[in-house]
Amino acid sequence: MRAQIVAMTSENLDMDAIKRAGDILKAGGLVAFPTETVYGLGGNALDPQASMKIYAAKGRPSDNPLIVHIAEIDQLAKIATEIPQGAKILAEKYWPGPLTMILPKADIVPKETTGGLDSVAVRFPSDRIAQELIKAAGGFVAAPSANTSGRPSPTMAEHVEEDLGDAIDMIIDGGQVGIGLESTIVDVPVVLRPGYISLEMLKETLGDVRMDRGLLITDNSVHPKAPGMKYRHYAPKADLSIVEGTEEQVIDCINRLSADAEKKGLKVGVIATNETKDRYAHADVFSIGSREEEETIAHHLYEVLRNFDDDRVDLIYSEAFYTPRMGQAIMNRLLKAAGHKIINAQEEKK
């Protein structure tokens, strides 16, 4: 099977194609579609067989639960047995949008969809294509990121085709996504995965919100609460290291390390920014965006990692991006992609 690809934009929806996509989902098939975060691989969330198909297509471990997407707030009460006050406040403020909430699941949600858990992850996306598709499919679409498990999440339909083109029925090409990182996940009042909606924004809305300790502690003593966060993820094929220090130290260190590697015949990639890209002497240098506009860094992260796969580099050195608002989310993904390999530029010099 080769996926049928249909293109549309949020401003110019192809409602016939959306109806066909909805029918595929109702019949138990799989359709990839754009959302404001990354592309999702959709299946009917209330159909255990469809969820099994999603795990199989992605090669995803079946203990890693799926997020259920809704497109009308009234649908929430059908899949969650209880909605705590904090969750109501967050839904009011951030839905539709890039926020996922963990709630106690109703019986109609099969355990296949929730990886065996009694809770369900729910999101109401703001992307119009996603919303219309969810409605056409009957209201509940389970959709993890539409990549092969372990690879960087897809931010363009081409990425989905590359990973899953032979495994699914249809791909809706809505162009490049807006945010480029997966949703923030909250089990009120704990953040299980950082995202575009930052800890600070959540604190402003709810007051008492904290990061899951399992995200902050990277040895194996504390497990993250979101099962998916324990897997190495988002990983490029090359060996990726993050270099930390002042701007000057980092540039100097990466230049030295890449010169050494190239002497050994290795092909090196560097993840730089608009501000620094001209200062790397060696290597295949890729600017991820501007530190002045941190959204651009989030937006290009997965694309850059995939581009290095295409360029077949052996090693990648990346600057660190502890930017003020999205730094937590960006570094969470980058550290996972690097398997937590960090080089301290100052110590490296010694």
Give the interface segment with ligand AMP, choosing from 70-78, 222-230, 277-285, 312-320 (CB under 6 A): 222-230
- Number of helical (H) and strand (E) elements in the chain, helices listed first: 12, 16
Give the interface segment with ligand AMP, choosing from 70-78, 84-92, 224-232, 248-256 (CB under 6 A): 224-232
Burial 142-158, CB ≥16 within 10 A → b, else e: bbbbbbbbebbbbbbbb
- Judged by CB under 6 A, the residue of 71, 76, 226, 297 near ligand AMP is 226
Instruction: Tell me how far, at minimum, the Cβ of 31 lies from ligand AMP, in Å.
Output: 15
Closest residue to ligand AMP using C-beta atoms: 228
Phi, psi of 242 (to 5 degrees): -105, 130
Instruction: Tell me how far, at minimum, the Cβ of 91 lies from ligand AMP, in Å.
Output: 16
H or E element that contains 184: strand 184-187
Contact 58, 164 (CB under 8 A): yes
Contact call for residue 215 and ligand AMP (CB under 6 A): no
Contact call for residue 145 and Mg ion (CB under 5 A): yes
Contact 311, 210 (CB under 8 A): no
- Judged by CB under 6 A, the residue of 35, 51, 114, 276 near ligand AMP is 114
Structure tokens given for 188: 């009120």
Distance between CA atoms of residues 95 and 101, nearest Å: 10
Short-list 164, 180, 171, CA closest to 58: 164
Q: Which does 273 bind (CB under 5 to 8 A by kind): ligand AMP, Mg ion, none?
A: none
Contact 42, 141 (CB under 8 A): yes
Q: Which does 22 bind (CB under 5 to 8 A by kind): ligand AMP, Mg ion, none?
A: none
Instruction: Between 99 and 226, name the residue whose CB sits nearer to ligand AMP.
Output: 226
Give the interface segment with ligand AMP, choosing from 1-9, 43-51, 63-71, 214-222 (CB under 6 A): 63-71
Contact call for residue 301 and ligand AMP (CB under 6 A): no
Phi, psi of 93 (to 5 degrees): -85, -40
H or E element that contains 287: strand 284-287
Residues that bind ligand AMP (CB under 6 A): 64-65, 67, 102, 114, 117, 119-121, 144-145, 182, 185, 192-193, 225-229
